[in-house]
Every structure is written in structure tokens, then in C-alpha cells.
Amino acid sequence: MKLPMWRRWQREELDEEIRSHIAMAVRERVERGENPAEAEVRVRREFGNEVQVKEVTHDMWGWTWVERLWQDLRYGARMLAKSPGFTVIAVVTLALGIGANTSIFSIINAALLRNLPVPNPQELVVVGDPSRVHSLSTGSPQTSIFSTDLYRELQRNQDVFTGLAATSDLSGAPTVTIDNGAPERIYGRLVSGNYFSVLGVNAVQGSVFTGEDDNEHGAKPVVVISYKYWKRRFHQDANVIGKTIRLDGYPLTIVGVTPKEFTGEVVGDYQDMWVPMMLQPQVMPGRDYVHSQTSYWLTLIGRMKPGLTFAQTKSQLDVTFSRIANSGFASKYTKSEQDDLKKAKLEVYPGGKGISGFRKRMSEPLVLMMLVVGLVLLIACVNVANLMLARSASRQREIAVRLAIGATTSRIVRQVLTESVMLACLGGTLGLIVAQWGTKALPFMVPNRSGEVPLDTSPDPVVLTFTFLVCVLTGILFGLVPALRARRVQLTSALNSEMRSGSVSGGGASRWSAGRILVAAQVTLSVLVLFIAGLLMQTLRNLQQVDTGYERHNLVVMRIDPRVAGHKGSNYIAFCNDLLQRIRSLPGVTSATYSGNGLFSGSESDSGIVIAGQANLSEKDRQVFNDTVGPNYFSALNVPMLQGRDIGPQDIGEHPKVAVINEAMARKYFGEQNALGQVFHVDDDEHVDIPLQVVGVARDIRDHSLTDAIGPRFYTPVNLQDLPGEIKFEVRTTGNAESVVRDIRGVVKSVDPALKIPSINTLDGLIDDWMDSQIFVAQLSGFFAGLALVLACVGLYGISAYSVAMRTRELGVRMALGAKPRDVIGMVLKEGFLIVLVGAAVGVPAAIAGSHLLRSMLFEVTSYDPRALTVSLTVLVAVGFFASYLPARKASRVDPMVSLRYE
């Protein structure tokens, strides 16, 4: 054994010391007159077992465990190499199990656990709602997202941050052209001048924004680009600083490039560039949020002063905010808005992990997936444990020999465990590779706004540590069973040649051997996984069949913003009507309409209303969701009118005079009375003299969620008073959505080439986006259920084959005594079935109990959903039957004479 230099030197020294001891003892005896040869013999005998003395002395140095480990590792490697079939199957099984866990954990790490790559992320604080990443609000002040002046006021009055920055989405599908090239869609953020200094990010080329580039007085036309964008579009050209790009036509000079690992403060969305927020009106023509008092578009990020805790910061901010709410600053708001402001609580969260819309939606599903892959790994462990058990049976002899020459049982247990951990680590290494490929595939199953989730899931130290721990635990887990078995090996019977067939000590012949119990456990775990998958898939199916109240297929939704092309006021309405006419006359279009909020488009409006004759409505009851819609809105969507009429073209005009309400609103506010003819108005200064008369009651429809209860809603015709910004066109098609989409794009281009289309989708596509987390868990759990089933099948087959092989003699005897092949098959099948039965008996109640935990992710599925249960059980029984049948058939075919002679 090759030892490190200094260890060898230590041993040599000890050898010499002992040699000199013996030499001195011999010399003394010789001096006393003994024969030198005799003296040497006597001295050596007196000295005792030299080797043993050396061993014990070596122990004193305390390094023995390292040497022993090394020995165990080499021995284990040799053993594994000796049975390549076993090793390959075990490693692949483990790779699948460990790889799946690493995959999911990488996503969890990237989305939920990892800090932003900035110095001292624990000092960062988000003011506002960290999940409202792409939000824009108009109307009354709120504390989840901020207006420019509220931001500045907060910035001026706060004393807890070394800096408070603001960020917002560069919305509206911005495109960038470089040197008159083709426009490319980019993703970016509008940020305040102190954004980079608050986060602590420095440029790798050029420099980042300073307070001079953007402050309350204005901004320079500059832009900072990301490393990825620099690589993609400029091929890491060092001369990029000073180059000009055009963002929707507006020229910006590149002043810096951010480091490779920095992709912005939004997790789950990569950013190409950062633009000073004060340039917003220039880069988003037609919309001015910077100077608008009623536009809420900023999320704030601050860095706490050193020494402050999060709790302190939060309470100080609350004080500051209430001061602002009660100060002269608030006097520009209406009375009710001021009251709201005074009652509002600032939303403050730790900001070290950035902001993310993706995170909130995916937390629960990801944790659930972690549980599922954990179960799959357990199933894989059981498989490998069984494999090792079968192998250990053939190693009894080797173990017996080792015991006979003096090894302790604990040493043998240690060695078996070392071998299994080694196996697990091999599987884990392969699993890492599997995970790399798997994780790249997974995020595409988790779509977000931009269509992909560029989470950085490359393995980082956290993931590698996790994988290593999983390997070690896995190895110990499945190694424990054969290791403990090894302890019980009895020397005499093991050395006896009888060992090789028939009775394995420790009970291969007993009904409930370790192997059988393990497989039953596998069945239990598989029931769990199958049941969970069944529930989730059923949920998805239920969601897909929810009645939305209108025909949801064959509907195309387009979002555009006419303001970008300069349309304002009555020109805006005329433009929309013109476009509507053109779209209606396209082939393949049965009807079309437009609306401010539309269907599943992520925007909502709510307003307080005052109903004539109902003076004492509560605060909450006064808020009603609403929409402004185009002519024939309901008939275009095929929503039946229960009473009265639809909004007509004659209603579109300067002031709204009529409204259509939905069933829920009619029921809530007018009860038994006839809702038609009732009058109400929106409760604010601009609408107080604009009464709305109810001219129609429409069926309740689902317009933004498949699962929420449908609340009251009213629809007013699009009018100059409440001009929507971005408007949605809903187009009913006869079938081929693709060609209609193409035609619509063509129409828009012909009407106004300057107009961009931020998005155009089928409603089915939008609803799928809404359901993305449910689709994710259903698909993934289905995949893992399949994997679990394969592993369980392999396990069951293995144990059947093994037990049949062990009992070849017994079966031979039975058949010689007259048993028919049919009986033998029946016997083996019965045993296999018994294992499945026991496993299922434990698994089913566990699954039902466990499914209670899934409550929040299920939809219209009971926790003991009979369909999922029956399917799971049927599949398992079928698998069990199939897995036991093959070995059974093989056994029944064996010639009794051959099996009797089998040794």
C-alpha cells in the first residue's frame, strides 16, 4: 500500500526503534553468557507479536482511520469491478434518483434560496410587493407599488437606508436597433440613478449609472447593458462603450456593461439592459408615468444602514410613511385617497433574494416536486438495497473468511457501508450529469412572461453540497440493510458449501425476508407517487374543462397600445373602431370586439360606486371590478344576455351613459328587483355627474381566473372619459388561428406601421399561461410516477427472480412430486400479489392522509379521489403481475431433474 511519505518514514522509524530494542536485549543476554542465536529467539518471544505491537502503536498516532478508509475504498472498488452488471444497474438506478433530486433542488436553489450576486445581500430591503414585477397601476395610491412623487417623498424623508432605488419594467415590447439593423425585442428595466450603487454592482466595461445620469431633474440618454447582451450582440467587443443603440427609435449611448453573474434584481427574468427611469416618457411614447400622479409603476429597493436590523427598518419606515400621509404632501390627493393613505401599511420585505413573480407562483409546486422526487429516490434506494442483498448472499463466504482471520464485525459493516456510499457517489456523479441535462429541459416547462425561465441553474456550491449529502445518506440508507445482514453471518454454516444454494442464513426461505419487505415498501412508495400524480393530473383535467361562461376556444386576443402611435382622445376611439371594422372583414373571423381589460390578460380595474337609493353600502361593498368594452362585446364572445341588451356602437362616445352588469352584481345590489333601469355612478370627482343606467344583465363569465368565485362586475362602453391605455382586441375565429393571427398583424401594419403588437395569443394559450404551475406539476409528477413505476417493476421482478432462483431445488422437488407447471406459476404469482397487497394496504391510507397536505394545489378533487386511487392500484397490480409472471414461467419450465441436481 502506497502511503504518503511521512507516514512511511514514521513506520520505518518505529521499525528501527524496535530493532534496536531487540538488539540491546540480545546483547545483554549474550553478555550474561547466553548463546547469541538462542538469546535472539528468547528475546523475540518475550517481545511478543511484533506486528501487533506495531499496529497498536500506529493506532496511537490517530491516523489509522484514514488508512482504513483508503483500504475500504480500494477493496470496495475491486468488489464493484468484479460484478459489473450489478454495478451498472445500481449506478444507473441511483443516477436517476439522485439526478432527479438535484434537478429539482437546482431550480429551488435558483428561484427560492439563492441571494443576488451582490455584496451583503442581507442588507437589501424591498419596499412594495416583490411579486408585482411587471405591474402598472393607475388610480388611487397604494403601498405595493409606487408613483414617482411618492418615491421621491419617501426617499427624501427616510433615514434607514444608505440609498433607496426604484425600478420598473420596460414594458410594451420594446425593440432595439443597432446601426440600422433589424429591430430585436429586448427585456429591460427602468431604474433610478442610484440603482447600481444601492445594489453594489460595478461595471466590467465602462461604468454604471451615477446620481448624475438620473435624478429628479432628469436623465442623460444613456444605457447600461448586461454581459449576456454584450456577448450576444457585440461579441464582447471592448469598444462598445460610447456606441449608440435605438430603443424604439430613441437613441441611447452605452456607458457600461454589468458583470457576467448579474442579471438584474428580478429572479426568473433576464435583463438585457437598464435605462434611466426619467427617460420613461421618451422611450415609451404616448405614456408618461414619470410625471403622472396617478401612475404607480415603481418597486423600491433600499440598502439598510449598517447596524440596523430588518425589524427596526420596517418600523421606522412605517413611521416615516404615516408622517408623509399626514403631511402637506398628501394634500394633492382626494379626501378618500388621503384616508386610504393614512390607513395604509407599507409593504416591506427582505430584498437579498431579489424580486420575482415566478417565485410566489412556484414555491408550493416546487416543494411538492421535491417531495415527489424524494419518494422516487427512496424507491431507487430500495431497488439497490435489494440488489445488494442478493449480492451479499453470494458474498457470505468471503465475509466468513474475513471474520475467521480476525476482522471485527464492525469493520465489515464499515466496509460494506463504505462500498455502498461509494456506489452512491458514483451514481451521484452520473446523476449530476443527468441533472444538468434535465434541468435545462425543466425550465421550459415553466413558462413565464417572456416565454422562458433563464434561471441560472448551473451547479453552484450549494447544489453540489446538497448532492453530496444526498449521496452519502442514500448510500448509508441502502447499505444499512446488507451491512446489518453481514453482521449476522454465522461462521460455520457460511463456510460450509451448503451455503451456495437454498438456505441463506438470515432467512431467504422465510416468508418475510428483508428483500420482500423492501419490495413491499417500494410498492407503498409507488402508491404514494402514483396517487399524487393522479390527483394533480385530475386537477389539470378539471381546470381544462371549467366552463368559462363563453366559448373559450377559437378566440384570439391581441394587445396593442394606440397611444404609442400618437393616437389620443377621440382619435383613439376612431382608430380602434376603424381597426375593428378591418379585422371583422378578415376571412376566418366571425366576430370581433375590444375591451380595456379583456380576458386573462393580467389587467383589472376596480372602482367604488354609488348606487342611487342605496346610501349605506359598506366600504368593501362599494368596490366593484369593471371593464370598458367595445360594441357588441357580449355577442362577440357568445355570452348570453339574461336581460336587456348588449353594448352597441351607439353607446361609444364622449360620456358613458349606460352600463351592462353581470348576474352577480344584479343579485348583490338589486336582489329581487329588476336591475334594468337602475342607476349608479362611479364614486370619484370625475364621475360624480355621470350616471350610468343599467341596460343589460349578462351571464357571469370567468375573465381572469378559472378558480376564483365570480364577483360583481359592470361594463361601460369605451369613452373619452375613461380611455384605456393598452387595449385588447378579442377576435372570434372559425378555426385556423395561425392564419387569422397573420392576417391581423397585416391589418395592423397596413393601418399604422409604427404600431407594435406586444402580444397576440389564442385565449387557450393565455389560459395555459395562467395554469402554468398546474401544468408544471401535473406533467412532472406524471413523469416521475412513470419513473417510480419502472423502478418498482424492476424491483418486483428482481425479487421474484431471485426468490425463484433460490428455490429452484424446492420447486424441482415439488414438480417431481407431481405439481403441474400451472401450480408453480400460481404459487409464485400469489406471493408476488401478496407483496403488492401488503404494500398497497400501507400505501393507500398514507396516500389519502398525505393528500390533505395538497389541498391548496387541487381543484375540485377530493383527497380520496376514487378515480386516482383505482387507477393507481390497477396499474400497480398489473405491474406486479407482469413482474412476477416471467420468473414464474421460467421456473415452471425447468426440468425437475436439472433443478434437483443444481448445486
Give the binding site for other proteins (CB under 8 A). Answer: 13-14, 16-18, 20-21, 23-25, 27, 47-49, 52-53, 55-57, 59-62, 406
Task: From 392, 624, 345, 616, select the one nearest 514 (Cα to Cα).
Answer: 392
Contact 528, 789 (CB under 8 A): no
Helix (H) or strand (E) holding 401: helix 396-404
**Min separation Cβ 414 and other proteins, Å:** 15
Q: How many CA atoms lie within 13 A of 722 on its CB side?
A: 26
Choice between 25 and 517, CB closer to other proteins: 25
Q: Which residues contact 496 (CB under 8 A, 6 or more apart)?
A: none
Task: From 635, 604, 627, 651, select the one nearest 715 (Cα to Cα).
Answer: 627
Choice between 17 and 654, CB closer to other proteins: 17
Helix (H) or strand (E) holding 254: strand 250-257
Residues found in the chain: 903
Choice between 25 and 319, CB closer to other proteins: 25
User: What is the spatial distance between Cα 521 and Cα 511, in angstroms, rounded to a whole number?
Assistant: 15
User: What is the spatial distance between Cα 590 and Cα 160, in angstroms, rounded to a whole number?
Assistant: 59
Choice between 24 and 509, CB closer to other proteins: 24
Choice between 21 and 500, CB closer to other proteins: 21
All three cell numbers of 279, joined, read 427617460
Choice between 14 and 842, CB closer to other proteins: 14
DSSP 146: B
**Min separation Cβ 24 and other proteins, Å:** 4
Cα 227 versus chain centre, distance: 25
Choice between 13 and 237, CB closer to other proteins: 13
Contact 692, 701 (CB under 8 A): no
User: What is the spatial distance between Cα 373 and Cα 84, in angstroms, rounded to a whole number?
Assistant: 27
Question: Pairing relation of β-strands 273-276 and 188-191?
Answer: parallel
Contact 481, 514 (CB under 8 A): yes
Task: From 356, 380, 352, select the one nearest 131 (Cα to Cα).
Answer: 356
**Under DSSP, is residue 395 helix (H, G, I), strand (E, B) or coil?**
coil
Amino acid in position 176: V
**Min separation Cβ 61 and other proteins, Å:** 7
All three cell numbers of 589, joined, read 373571423
> How far from 331 is each of 260, 294, 682, CA to CA, in Å?
46, 14, 22
Choice between 57 and 215, CB closer to other proteins: 57
**Min separation Cβ 405 and other proteins, Å:** 11
**Min separation Cβ 396 and other proteins, Å:** 24
All three cell numbers of 690, joined, read 355621470
User: What is the spatial distance between Cα 253 and Cα 273, in angstroms, rounded to a whole number?
Assistant: 12
Choice between 33 and 62, CB closer to other proteins: 62
Contact 703, 597 (CB under 8 A): yes
**Min separation Cβ 62 and other proteins, Å:** 8
Contact 29, 39 (CB under 8 A): yes
Choice between 21 and 231, CB closer to other proteins: 21
Say which residue the cell 452512491 belongs to: 424
Say which residue the cell 403441474 belongs to: 820
Amino acid in position 5: M
**Min separation Cβ 65 and other proteins, Å:** 15
Choice between 48 and 451, CB closer to other proteins: 48
Q: Which residues pair with 777 in a beta bridge?
A: none
**Min separation Cβ 398 and other proteins, Å:** 21
531 phi/psi in degrees, rounded to 5: -65, -45
User: What is the spatial distance between Cα 423 and Cα 80, in angstroms, rounded to a whole number?
Assistant: 8
**Min separation Cβ 416 and other proteins, Å:** 21
**Min separation Cβ 21 and other proteins, Å:** 4
Q: Which residues pair with 206 in a beta bridge?
A: 256
Task: From 195, 185, 250, 200, select the one nearest 224 (Cα to Cα).
Answer: 195
**Under DSSP, is residue 509 helix (H, G, I), strand (E, B) or coil?**
coil
Choice between 23 and 238, CB closer to other proteins: 23
Question: Taking the C-alpha atoms of 287, 290, 293 and 296 in order, what is their torsion angle to the nearest 10 degrees?
Answer: 80
| Number of alpha helices (DSSP H) and beta strands (DSSP E) in the chain | 27, 27
**Min separation Cβ 409 and other proteins, Å:** 13
657 phi/psi in degrees, rounded to 5: -120, -20
**Min separation Cβ 34 and other proteins, Å:** 16
Amino acid in position 371: L
**Min separation Cβ 85 and other proteins, Å:** 37
Choice between 67 and 823, CB closer to other proteins: 67
Choice between 23 and 816, CB closer to other proteins: 23
Choice between 63 and 783, CB closer to other proteins: 63
**Min separation Cβ 17 and other proteins, Å:** 5
Contact 286, 566 (CB under 8 A): yes
Tell me the torsion sign for CA atoms 116, 122, 123, 128: positive
Q: How many CA atoms lie within 13 A of 534 on its CB side?
A: 24
Choice between 25 and 546, CB closer to other proteins: 25
**Min separation Cβ 11 and other proteins, Å:** 12
**Min separation Cβ 42 and other proteins, Å:** 14
**Min separation Cβ 46 and other proteins, Å:** 8
**Min separation Cβ 55 and other proteins, Å:** 7
**Under DSSP, is residue 617 helix (H, G, I), strand (E, B) or coil?**
coil
Choice between 26 and 666, CB closer to other proteins: 26
Choice between 24 and 66, CB closer to other proteins: 24
User: What is the spatial distance between Cα 392 and Cα 415, in angstroms, rounded to a whole number?
Assistant: 13
User: What is the spatial distance between Cα 679 and Cα 878, in angstroms, rounded to a whole number?
Assistant: 65
